[in-house]
Structure 1
Amino acid sequence: MSDFSEAMSVASSGMKAQANRLRHVSENIANVDTPGYRRKTIAFQEAFADSQRTGAVETGKVRLDRAELTRIYDPGNPLSDTSGHYNGSNVNMLIEIADAREAQRSYQANLKMFDQVRQMSSALMDLLRR
């Protein structure tokens, strides 16, 4: 595999991983008011091909955040216990917005890298044609 295609593969794996991360962040935001919902987190890990390091990244297992669920007082809610409380979600919008911004910036950086490699490859082909 040429250096250009390896670099493009690494950049595209980063874009895929960040897109997957952004999908989980958006699910968390969509379920911020869902009772009993636990925030999803995802980790990245290095990808291997034939027991060799590729430099690419892939997403690992999706994990549920084990932080305490918020207790909400609403005696009129059918989910309430005898004290009038029920479990809300453990999604913190501030954290989710920061994670979304970080995923977006990382995606853009990988896209820029992909585009730079494509331009360098194209310029090299133009030089070789002369």
Structure 2
Amino acid sequence: MELMKSLHVAASGLRAQSARMRIIAENIANADSTAKTPDGDPYRRQVPNFRAEFDRKLGATVVEQAKTLPDRSDFKLRYAPSHPSADEKGYVKMPNVETLIEAMDMRQAQRSYEANLGIIETARNMVNRTLDILRA
């Protein structure tokens, strides 16, 4: 049944966007964390990756989460000589998280999540109308 395929595909999209939002939330939560020692590295931004996977049983392509990879961009340096994690020059390594970018990514993930919910709601309404027709 094609309707069931669309529900499964939409559900895989919901799972993917939910995982994406969890990773983004972790990035935002650690945006100001620093290393415990002057020579250590702070939190490194995580980047979620997804792949299209063909589900043979379903006969449709669904979304699956692939590995979450660290963002290899440079850390930011902030001058704070009194900070416990400051190096000999007074600089503290800060995470490579840009909260504005994370907020935009979160909004995009939220809209994608809502779109998948809309698909499920539409499919549910179609089933209900079909049942109503069959009852009449």
- Shorter-chain TM-score tier: over 0.9
TM-score (normalizing by structure 2): 0.88
Supply the RMSD in Å over aligned alpha carbons.
1.5
The structure richer in strand per residue is: 1
Aligned residues: 129
CA distance in 2, matches of 1:121, 1:111: 15
- Residue 126 of structure 1 and its aligned partner are, at CA, apart by 1.9
Q: Percent identity?
A: 38
Q: Which residue of 2 aligns with 1:91?
A: 97
Q: Which runs of 4+ in 1 moved over 3 A?
A: 50-53
Alignment of 1:8-19 (within 5 A): 8-19=7-18
Which residue of 2 is the match for residue 65 of structure 1? 71
Deviation at 1:79, TM superposition (A): 1.2
- Structure 1: which 5+ runs fail to align? none
Taking the aligned partners of 1:51 and 1:67, their CA distance within structure 2 comes to 40
Matching residue's letter, 1:22: M
How far apart, in 1, do the equivalents of 2:14 and 2:76 lie?
A: 33
Gaps of 5+ in 2: 35-41
Per-residue CA shift, 1:50-88, capped at 9, x if unaligned?
A: 498622111111011111000111111121111111211
